[in-house]
Structure 1
Amino acid sequence: MATCTGSGSFQTCYDAQSGNSYSVQRHGNTTTIQGYNSNTGSTWNQTSRKIGGTTFHNGMSSDGNSWSGTSRSIGSQTYHQGIDSDGEPYSGYSYD
């Protein structure tokens, strides 16, 4: 469980169990996360932009591979699809 400090537009979080620390910055319809793991020295990031009912995600995994995807809300369901950091397609649903 991460402990976070800061406001709604900027927060920093740290999870002592995993060694992950990250910052979350929100500006309008864009959220950017920058992460670091103190146990491994690895970094990662994610940017999400919401336009209408669709959120566009992209990022760089800790092994240096990029990924991208979309999440589209329809009623109480959200449909997710994209390409993961191994270059594999993914898709699925979640319920609100």
Structure 2
Amino acid sequence: MAIRKALTATARALSGVDEELQRHGVGQGRVSNAKQLASIREQLTLMETQLSSSQLPPKEQRVRGAGRAVADSWPFDSALGAMVLEAEQLYLKA
């Protein structure tokens, strides 16, 4: 159940990051920059892969950092930021 919830949140965050990357591609990005978004996308993709496999690493060895980047530099009211934070938290708890 926790893994399914984390997978759903991760897929939602990936979709949001992809949309934001497309906006950046046409000069209409709202948050962050393309380089940081690409890095966050890589982390979310790895999280999704681990959640989908039967080999989820021990909690202390899981991917971290996307949430910190969001919390440190994105607007507080960013809906995409909230999605990324939720995905990372659910992944770390799964």
TM-score when scaled to structure 1? 0.23
The structure whose RCO (Cα within 8 Å, separation 6+) is larger is 2
- Structure having the higher strand fraction is 1
- Structure having the higher helix fraction is 2
TM-score when scaled to structure 2? 0.24
Q: Rg: which structure is higher?
A: 1
